Amino acid sequence: MTYKIAVLPGDGVGPEVIEAAMIVLNEIALNAEYIYGDIGWEFWRKEGNPLPERTMELMHQTDCALFGAITSKPKDEAQKELAPELRGKGLEYYSPIVKLRQLFDLYANVRPAKAYPGNPLNYKDNINITIFRENTEGLYSGVEYYPVSKEIDEVFKENPRYKKFIGMDKAISLRIISRKGAERIIRAAFEYAKNNNLRNVTVVEKPNVLRETSGLFVRVAREIHKEYPNIEMWETNIDAQAMWLVKNPEKYDVLVTSNLFGDIISDLASQLVGGLGFAAAGNIGDNYAVFEPVHGSAPKYTGLYKVNPIATIRAVRMMLDYLGEHEKANRLETAIEEVVKEGKVRTYDMGGDASTLDMAKEIAKKYAEL
């Protein structure tokens, strides 16, 4: 079978890390057709849309996508960079990756944080945590108000505790947690733990304060946990969990949480195992998936071929697993492990001077030797 894979380099360092990933993919010789698509800042400026319709169509024709990085800027800066003929038409910049997650219903953002033996950047050895971040709702639901209309203010009349907000100059972002949304991410986390013989799943929320949203999330987790009696489930609060991840990260196998908490805690976890140069993510739904490095477009490094491509190469590894190519995925993982352990080729973040492509070539070479 020939896979069809959409390749979306984006901007900033996106194209260079994708170039690195393609060196590795060519060595792997996956039976696949790679189709490049337009996405990112350049298309916002020229077309007023960072995610053109043709790219969406391309994605619909493929099995999954490999995505690099894109720049996002605050509202007013984005408007200033828009082509003159497109200004004043009410066009608004949005984050293409957040939109893709929503449009393709890629509800599971899977973010492994694994300490590769011999990585000089490891905070501690024996860290191997996989974070399941809900990816379509929570504080990323996109339901926001400013200014807040009188109709919406009506809602504040229903409870005496809300009254003080009526008529205030205020902004509102809704944190929506649905039962379905909670169920599917929590189930994905438990299934992953079960399939990989892991011991524990930690539900990270804040139900003591966010009584309704976190409350629902935790209640759903307790229900689902009953189906997995051999896996331990712990409930923690996001603030305390941030501390415990620094204190004893070895303890945790799987974390599952809502969207923004997962965003924050996964950056924290990545720093325990080498930082964003090592952090990959799979955005996975029932019908499609997008794989990406967690780092952004890193404008200050653009074109320098300095950044560590391991994040993107690990995203490739996750993509291989998604496609069912487990043998190739495991072999690639071993190649990365070996290259890190040998320590001959190291990018700047690891204290070396190897370029993005040197690292990719070394991993490709190792893959070929295995």
Binding residues for Mn ion (CB under 5 A): 263
Give whichever of 27 and 263 is closer to Mn ion, judged by the CB atom: 263
Q: CA-to-CA distance for 5 and 319, rounded, in angstroms?
A: 10
The footprint of ligand IPM (CB under 6 A) covers 95, 97-98, 263, 294, 296
Residue 137 site contact among Mn ion, ligand IPM, none (CB < 5 to 8 Å, cut-off depends on kind):
none
* Distance of closest approach, residue 266 Cβ to ligand IPM, in angstroms: 7
Nearer to ligand IPM, 52 or 96 (CB): 96
Q: Decide: 297 and 70 in contact? Cβ < 8 Å.
A: yes
- Alpha-carbon distances of 281 from 45, 64, 179, 227, 313, rounded to whole Å: 27, 13, 24, 27, 11
Q: Smaller CB distance to ligand IPM: residue 37 or 262? A: 262
Question: To 10 degrees, what angle do helices 326-342 and 356-369 make?
Answer: 120
The residue number whose beta carbon is nearest to Mn ion equals 263
Task: Tell me whether residue 73 or residue 225 sits nearer to ligand IPM (CB atom).
Answer: 73
Q: Give the DSSP H/E element, type plus range, for residue 194.
A: helix 179-195
Could you say which of ligand IPM, Mn ion, none residue 97 binds, taking C-beta under 5 to 8 angstroms by partner kind?
ligand IPM
Say how many C-beta atoms besides its own lie within 10 A of residue 344's C-beta.
9
Q: Which residue in the block uniquely carries the two structure tokens 């204190």?
A: 247
CB 309 within 8 A of CB 279: no
Rounded least distance, CB 152 to ligand IPM, Å = 25
| Residue showing the smallest CB distance to ligand IPM in the complex | 95
Q: Cβ of residue 62: shortest distance to ligand IPM, in angstroms? A: 21
**Residue 332's binding partner out of ligand IPM, Mn ion, none, with CB under 5 to 8 Å set by partner kind:** none
In the complex, least distance from residue 96 CB atom to ligand IPM, rounded to whole angstroms: 9
Shortest distance, position 345 Cβ to ligand IPM, whole Å: 27
Under a CB-based contact definition with an 8 Å cutoff, are residues 136 and 107 in contact? yes
Q: CB-wise, 97 or 216, nearer to ligand IPM?
A: 97
Q: Which option in ligand IPM, Mn ion, none does residue 15 bind, with CB closer than 5 to 8 A by kind? A: none
Q: State whether residue 108 is helix, strand or coil.
A: strand
What is the closest distance, in whole angstroms, from the C-beta atom of residue 333 to ligand IPM in the complex? 22
The minimum distance between CB 69 and ligand IPM, in angstroms, equals: 8
Tell me the C-alpha distance between 187 and 108, whole Å. Answer: 10
Q: What are phi and psi of 364, to 5 degrees?
A: -60, -40
Cβ proximity to ligand IPM: between 297 and 355 the closer is: 297
Distance between CA atoms of 14 and 40, rounded to whole angstroms?
A: 10
**Which ranges in the chain belong to alpha helices (H)?**
14-28, 41-47, 53-60, 75-81, 96-103, 150-154, 179-195, 213-225, 238-247, 259-272, 310-322, 326-342, 356-369
The item of Mn ion, ligand IPM, none sharing an interface with residue 268, based on CB under 5 to 8 Å by kind, is: none
| Residue in 327, 354, 333 with CA at minimum distance from that of residue 112 | 333
Q: For residue 176, give the DSSP letter.
A: B
Please say which residue, 11 or 263, places its beta carbon nearer to Mn ion: 263
98 binds, among ligand IPM, Mn ion, none (CB under 5 to 8 A by kind): ligand IPM
